[in-house]
C-alpha cells in the first residue's frame, strides 16, 4: 500500500483561526438543528427507528444478543481503546516511526481537554438548557436489556446497557475526536478502515439502548468538535506535546538501549 505521509510536522504551534471558527460554527449548527422543532421531530423519529431496528432483534436471536452483550462490556471498550491507540503509535502506518511519539503526545492532552470540556462548560450548558435525559432502554416500553439477558456476564464484565444521563455520548465524543485527528493524515483505504471501526465501536451503545442516536450525532459530535478546535487549531497540542517530549526524554533514552524495546517506534523515535 502506498503510504501518504503528513506533509508537515504535527501539530503546529500556531493559531488556525479558520479551523477554530469552523469547529464552533459547526457545533452551533448541529445544536440548533437539534433544537429547531421541524428538524427535532425528524431526529426524534430517527432515534426511535434506530433503537427499534437494532434492539428488537435481541429478543429473538441469541447469537445477536451474545455478540452485542460482549461488545457492550468494559473489556470490549478496553480492546477498542487499544486498537485506537495502535493506529497512532504503529510506525509506518498512519504516521512514520519518527512521528508516532509526537502524534501520541499531541492526542493525549487534547483527549484530556475533551474530558474537561465535557464535565465543565458543556455539562453546565446541558444543565442550563435541561437537555439531559435517559437512554432508550430506560424509557421505551419493551426494550431489551442485555444485562438482564446475561446477568452472569454483567456481574463480571459490567454490560453497558442503560444510562440515566445519556446526553452527550461520552464514548462517541472520544471516538469522533480520534477520527478527526487521524483523518487528514490517512490514505483513502485507511480512512475507510477508520470510519468502519468507529461505526463498529459506536454500535454497542445504540444496540443496548444506553444512548439515543442523537446523543452521538449531536452531543458527541459537538463535544468532539470543540475539543478538536481548541486542541489542534490553537498552540495547545503543540505546546503540551513539547512538554511531554522533554519530560519523557530521559526515560525513553534509557529504554531505547534495551534490545527488545529499541525497535518500538514510540521508544526509539524512528
Whole-angstrom Cα distance, residue 46 to residue 33?
Answer: 14
> Quick one: average pLDDT of 89-96?
92
In a domain, 29, yes or no: yes
Range of the domain at 224: 17-40+53-260
Whole-angstrom Cα distance, residue 46 to residue 249?
Answer: 50
In a domain, 232, yes or no: yes
Mean pLDDT of the chain: 92
> Quick one: average pLDDT of 257-264?
72
Q: Work out the number of other CB atoms within 10 angstroms of the CB of residue 269.
A: 19
Whole-angstrom Cα distance, residue 123 to residue 95?
Answer: 34
The pLDDT score that the predictor gives to residue 1 is 39
In a domain, 249, yes or no: yes
Q: What number of residues does the chain have?
A: 270
In a domain, 48, yes or no: no
Tell me: pLDDT of 105 over 50: yes
- What is the number of domains present in the chain? 1
The pLDDT score that the predictor gives to residue 269 is 66
Whose grid coordinates read 470510519?
195
Predicted confidence (pLDDT) per residue in 50-75, tens digit: 999 999 999 999 999 999 999 999 99
In a domain, 241, yes or no: yes
In a domain, 115, yes or no: yes
Tell me: pLDDT of 256 over 80: no
In a domain, 212, yes or no: yes
Amino acid at each position: 500500500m502506498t503510504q501518504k505521509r503528513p506533509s508537515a510536522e504535527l501539530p503546529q504551534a500556531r493559531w488556525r483561526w479558520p479551523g477554530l471558527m469552523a469547529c464552533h460554527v459547526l457545533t452551533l449548527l448541529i445544536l440548533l438543528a437539534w433544537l429547531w422543532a421541524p428538524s427535532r421531530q425528524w431526529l426524534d423519529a430517527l432515534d426511535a427507528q434506530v433503537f427499534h431496528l437494532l434492539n428488537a432483534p435481541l429478543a429473538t436471536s441469541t447469537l445477536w444478543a451474545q455478540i452485542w452483550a460482549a461488545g457492550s462490556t468494559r473489556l470490549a471498550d478496553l480492546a477498542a481503546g487499544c486498537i485506537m491507540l495502535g493506529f497512532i503509535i504503529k510506525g509506518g502506518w498512519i504516521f512514520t516511526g519518527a512521528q508516532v511519539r509526537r502524534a501520541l503526545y499531541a492526542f493525549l492532552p487534547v483527549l484530556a481537554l475533551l474530558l474537561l470540556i465535557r464535565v465543565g462548560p458543556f455539562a453546565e450548558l446541558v444543565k442550563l438548557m435541561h437537555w439531559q435525559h435517559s437512554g432508550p432502554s430506560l424509557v421505551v416500553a419493551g426494550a431489551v436489556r442485555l444485562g438482564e439477558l446475561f446477568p452472569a456476564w454483567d456481574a463480571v464484565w459490567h454490560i453497558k446497557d442503560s444510562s440515566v444521563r445519556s446526553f452527550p455520548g461520552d464514548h462517541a465524543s472520544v471516538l469522533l475526536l480520534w477520527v478527526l485527528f487521524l483523518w487528514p493524515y490517512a490514505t483513502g483505504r485507511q480512512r475507510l478502515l477508520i470510519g468502519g471501526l468507529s461505526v463498529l465501536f459506536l454500535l454497542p451503545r445504540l444496540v443496548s439502548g444506553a444512548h439515543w442516536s442523537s446523543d452521538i450525532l449531536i452531543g458527541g459530535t459537538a463535544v468532539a468538535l470543540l475539543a478538536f478546535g481548541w486542541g489542534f487549531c490553537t498552540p495547545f497540542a503543540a505546546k503540551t506535546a513539547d512538554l511531554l517530549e522533554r519530560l519523557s526524554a530521559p526515560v525513553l533514552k534509557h529504554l531505547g538501549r534495551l534490545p527488545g524495546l529499541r525497535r518500538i517506534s514510540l521508544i526509539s523515535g524512528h
